[in-house]
Structure 1
Amino acid sequence: MSKIIEVRAPKILGGESVTEGIIKIKKNIGEQVNVDDLIFEIETDKTALELTAETDGQIIEFFVKENDIISPGQLLAKLGTEKKVEKENKADQNNTLVKKKDAPAARKIMEENKIHPESISGTGIDNRITKADIIKHINQSTYENHTIQPAHVEHKEKRVKISKIRQVIAARLKASQNTAAILTTFNEIDMKNVMDLRAKYKESFEKKYGIKLGFMSFFTKAAVHALKEISEINAEISGDEIIYKHYYNIGVAVGTDKGLVVPVIRNADNMSFAEIELTLVALSQKARDGKLQISEMEGATFTISNGGIYGSLLSTPIINPPQSGILGMHSIQNRPVVVGNTIEVRPMMYIALSYDHRIVDGKGAVTFLVKIKNCIEDPNRLILEI
């Protein structure tokens, strides 16, 4: 007794969003097929499905051609079979279970890789496992095995009460931002000449005065020279008045374990290079030891901050109120610069001036930085005061 079986495309072609696939025909009309023989392959943008024979039989007719675009559930072929009737008791007939037959290629790969079928969800007809399902399973397993799992890290926190000095620093800096119209202008300095001068007299200076010759004394001298020319940067606003100061107390920012402090070098205009260096070392040591007196941190008319000692390349320092300006020094780096008509590698430093625009105009701020630049690039100006 003959039976005709329809071979249709799966209702789901690898995903709910997949609505079509390209058919590949693996058998010919009239060819005899056995159970699980491959008849069609369906290629989609997401996977490749295998359609196999559900029973022994002969291909009677194809309803598609090679590389046709097919849709889910479409009739693809008809298969003729011989129906075998076996005598079984009624109970056995009612409880007959149809065992799922996976694609031959899929079974072969599972055997080679020792993969248990129950560990894979099939996407073929009647949830049969296809070759594409096996490849996806292997790739996913490989990825999971090689994925580095992040170690469990306990996030620790520590709550510490803000120190009094940090509260004062925060309050003053915030008050500065809220009160002053702070603007910052920049320039750069070729440090070659001052570095050569420092290297030339380094040993004799230290031998005579017992202190190393640093850059801060040059910048302090240069700042005083520029402040005498641009007097508004050495002034402050008091109510509806401007107080111009004809003395030069230079605050120098010093980092300590407890925070930033700014001891003051008083009457810096009357000091020599050695006196500035000695005073700075003494004040810095007292700051780090926590022995600075309040009187030693009051009365500055201008401040210099050297972020370069920490590696800062560029910054916008905040004015220390009621002052009207602060000079920011930065790290020295070799950079190519144009000298005359040639390009040379020179030790360069960016400098920044933050100023209160309520009292200092842009012209004055730029002129101030240019004067600092000229004095450092030609240190003879500091001796001749020009």
Structure 2
Amino acid sequence: MALPTTQHDATILIVDDAPENLVLMSNLLKDLYPLRVANGGAKALALINSGTQLPDLILLDIMMPGLSGYDVARALKSDERTAAIPIIFLTAMSSTDDETRGFELGAVDYITKPISPPIVLARIDTHLKLKAAADFLRDKNDYLEQEVARRTLEVAAIQDVTIHAMASLAETRDNETGNHIRRTQNYVKLLAEHLRHHPRFSDFLTDQTIQLLYKSAPLHDIGKVGIPDRILLKPGRLTPEEFEIMKAHTTLGRDAIQHAEDELGTDVEFLRHAKDIAYGHQEKWDGSGYPQGLVGEDIPISARLMAVADVYDALISRRVYKVPMSHDEAVAKIQQGRGSHFDPDICDAFLACQARFQTIAAQYVDTDADLAKEAAALQFIADEP
């Protein structure tokens, strides 16, 4: 991006009520710059606000009938559209107070009459070069801001695509539907927003973190891709041995996300939350969960939120091998787990929001087609030799 040239490109507006001064300045500058003239302050403002191209510099007399040069300068500097136009006062008022007032109003220079043509030309050239440099830097800054915004959207899109691809992969192998993923991520967001001002959670649950939790929640069961079909899709209760294998999905999920992060070669915040959720959402407040048997505050907040969301959805969901609980039955079950399975405050947030949980569940209800797909997968396993 090159700096614009000053001569022949920059337009100068001359404002003076004396015709002889307009003629003098026009003759001095006409061979160097495109010129516009106004014989009063009101006409100058009307010309500038006419919708035509703004001048690059204004030579402004002070003593004029009607609006003085000071009035014009004040109006221009108060308007964002014209505030950056450099103003040079060109006046017979030569006192220090007059000059000080001019600079206080935002003028870049103050030249007293009678003028010295070489000095006027040199100062105009200097201020046009300064304006060109300032315009260049402002345009560059605007470009960089737009580029940062574009890259930020691009990174967010990559995050979304990555999560969607990984979650879809898990969905193809799991007996739970894609609607389970959508329901649980909305449950997590609802709980987080309800708790954002709670003293135990406010430092963690910022706007950015809540958005990242919403994005990360679909990966809570990504580790199930590593569980054998005979266990993952078994249409009945698992044996103790099979359950131990199933429990490994938390570690498999954490390791898969960690591997993706290692491949990137840097820590990624949304993947950190996804790891915590995948690895910790089966932990219980009293330490009886898995895989680590963590207790209370040692369980990541993201995992504690996911635990409530996941259990509620499992309770109300219809599967070919079980009937769903009613919403009220599921709420009672969650309440029973307060302080044992679930963080008490998160459980209380669920109870406060339970009607909206029911609304989300209805919005993303499983269809007959979803259940037919699950039944077909289970039948495939049953038919295997």
Q: TM-score, normalised by structure 1?
A: 0.26
Q: Which has the higher Rg, Structure 1 or Structure 2? A: 1
Higher relative contact order (CA 8 A, sep 6+): 1
* Higher strand content, 1 or 2: 1
Q: TM-score, normalised by structure 2?
A: 0.26
